Amino acid sequence: MFSYTSIKEYHSFLGTNPDGCMQAVKHYIAAIEANKHLNAFLEVFADEALQRAAELDKQRTEGQTMGRLHGVVVSLKDVICYKGHKVTAASKILDNFESVYSATAVERLLAEGAIIIGRNNCDEFAMGSSSENSAFGTVKNARDTSRVPGGSSGGSAVAVQADLTMISLGSDTGGSVRQPADFCGIIGMKPSYGRISRYGLIAYASSFDQIGIFGKNLADVAIALEVMSGEDNFDSTASSKPVAHYEEHSHKLITGKKIAYFKQVLDHPGIDPEIKAATENYIQTLKDKGFIVEAINFDWLDYIVPTYYILTTAEATSNLSRFDGVRYGFRSTEGIDDLNEMYKQSRSKGFGKEVQRRILLGNFVLSSGYFDAYFTKAQQVRKLLSDNTATIFEQYDAIISPTVPAPAFKLGEKSDDSVAMYLADIYTVYANLVGLPSISVPLFTHSNGMPFGLQLMTNHYEEELMFALSNSFLAK
């Protein structure tokens, strides 16, 4: 029976198995079918994936050179465009909408031989922390199906967690890759803002959004990052900085680096006592491994969630104004003979509750009477955080923290309390506010049986160091 550990081992398996890609794709199609109850996939591109596997097997056995992702099975969060395929952002408003072009990230995966197996369920328009806000049903955590997988990229996380794909793509605006990775016990990484082109990623908050990667091991994530990163004429925020050989760094063992953690993070009243204890013990382990780990002050912890929600909802309000019932997907027409009423009904019926809440909140913070009090203030806090981050990285190589203050919660537990849901983003939104690369590394297990991780951040465009440190942390 086919089993998967890493791209490297899969590629050596392909060397002796002329139908290896086909075996892999058949295996995943059956696994997805057998795990339908997890609701991780909105659509499986079965016939197409089988056909592509056959082509790749043929090319390889005929002696053509293999791409870096030859035959690698990948699934996409349903906010990433793949030409000729549906993309809905898990929203009714885009029901049956088909991508007219592919995201640059997708084009680059395909150019290196990847096989796209399907679309993953998520929170509607990537807004949420539990994958319960999808118009197409809740995603379940494979470790304990009474619990959430995290969000918003919950389907992509579960796809890797439950072995339904080799790697998957998510998007991370405030933690949507790292937090589900933490809840599912896998690796989830968001690169620096600008490392991967956002062309073809349905926008939530454009100055925060980044495509991120889920994987079972660091090297896989590093290879996928290498393939997707780099300059893009279609996204002026995509950096032209050279793309490093990230994989090489994902095998390095290093020590002696200076690592900071925020005192206020571990002293926060909302942190689960076991997560606090595990992180504190781990800090000692890191010191024993030869790292210099020091507590530093971070006085803004209570401001970062409000700042994040003010700025992201403001951006979302603008980004989502294009979904008006005219240009894309769903339109409400029944009994309507007035244009304004058509807009109103289409948006009221097409968007779910959480998306509507955020559009209202975003309009509120941008309205003339409140603009200075909320939006301008939040921009000032963001600037302050950026300046402070630069000062931290003058003295330290990295910052660590728990990824989330508590492990995966029960389905429905927080769905009626949006403030509690938002507050759980307290450790992840910082990296997006300042654009840092960040990764959640699965290191711990809670007494309730659920996994949790350690979050690591390095300075802008220091993904190499992030991978080397992660590998050193994971090494026994």
Q: Which residues are catalytic?
A: 77, 152, 176
**Out of 104, 121, 138, 173, which residue is the one contacting ligand GLN (CB under 6 A)?**
173
Footprint on residues 138-167 left by ligand GLN (CB under 6 A): 152
Does 172 participate in binding ligand GLN (rule CB under 6 A)?
yes
Site for ligand GLN in 298-337 (CB under 6 A): 312
Bridge partners, residue 44, by sequence:
118
Q: Which is nearer to ligand GLN, 141 or 176 (CB)?
A: 176
Interface residue with ligand GLN, options 71, 175, 191, 453 (CB under 6 A): 175
- Which residues in 417-456 contact ligand GLN (CB under 6 A)? 425
* Candidate ranges 25-33, 55-63, 126-134, 392-400; the one touching ligand GLN (CB under 6 A): 126-134
Return the residue of 128, 188, 194, 442 that touches ligand GLN, per CB under 6 A.
128
Stretch binding ligand GLN (CB under 6 A), from 173-181, 258-266, 331-339, 453-461: 173-181
- Of 40, 126, 157, 219, the one binding ligand GLN (CB under 6 A) is 126
Tell the burial category of 475 from Cβ atoms under 10 Å away from its Cβ (0-12, 13-18, 19+). exposed
To the nearest whole angstrom, how small is the minimum distance from the Cβ of residue 190 to ligand GLN? 8
Verify binding: residue 127, ligand GLN, rule CB under 6 A. Answer: yes
Q: 126 or 439: whose CB is closer to ligand GLN? A: 126
Residues whose CB falls within 8 Å of the CB of residue 243, separated by 6 or more in sequence, listed in order? 226, 229, 230
| Residue 152, preceding peptide bond in cis (omega within 30° of 0) | yes
CB of 77 to ligand GLN, least distance (A): 9
> How many chain residues bind ligand GLN (CB under 6 A)?
14
Among residues 39, 129, 458, 470, the one that binds ligand GLN under rule CB under 6 A: 129
Pick 151 or 185: Cβ nearer ligand GLN = 151
Instruction: Report in angstroms how near the CB of residue 438 gets to ligand GLN at its nearest.
Output: 11
- Contact string (CB under 6 A) for ligand GLN, positions 200-219, x = contact: ----x---------------
Least distance to ligand GLN from the beta carbon of 115, Å?
26
Residue 75 as a binder of ligand GLN (CB under 6 A): the answer is no
User: Which range, of 127-135, 180-188, 331-339, 455-463, touches ligand GLN by CB under 6 A?
Assistant: 127-135
* Cβ distance to ligand GLN smaller for residue 128 or 435: 128
- Between 351 and 473, name the residue whose CB sits nearer to ligand GLN: 351
Q: Is the dihedral of CA 264, 266, 272, 273 positive or negative?
A: negative
Number of residue whose CB is nearest ligand GLN = 176
Pick the binder of ligand GLN from 118, 154, 174, 352 (CB under 6 A). 174
Q: What minimum distance in Å lies between the beta carbon of 126 and ligand GLN?
A: 4
Chain residues that interact with ligand GLN, rule: CB under 6 A: 126-129, 152, 171-176, 204, 312, 425
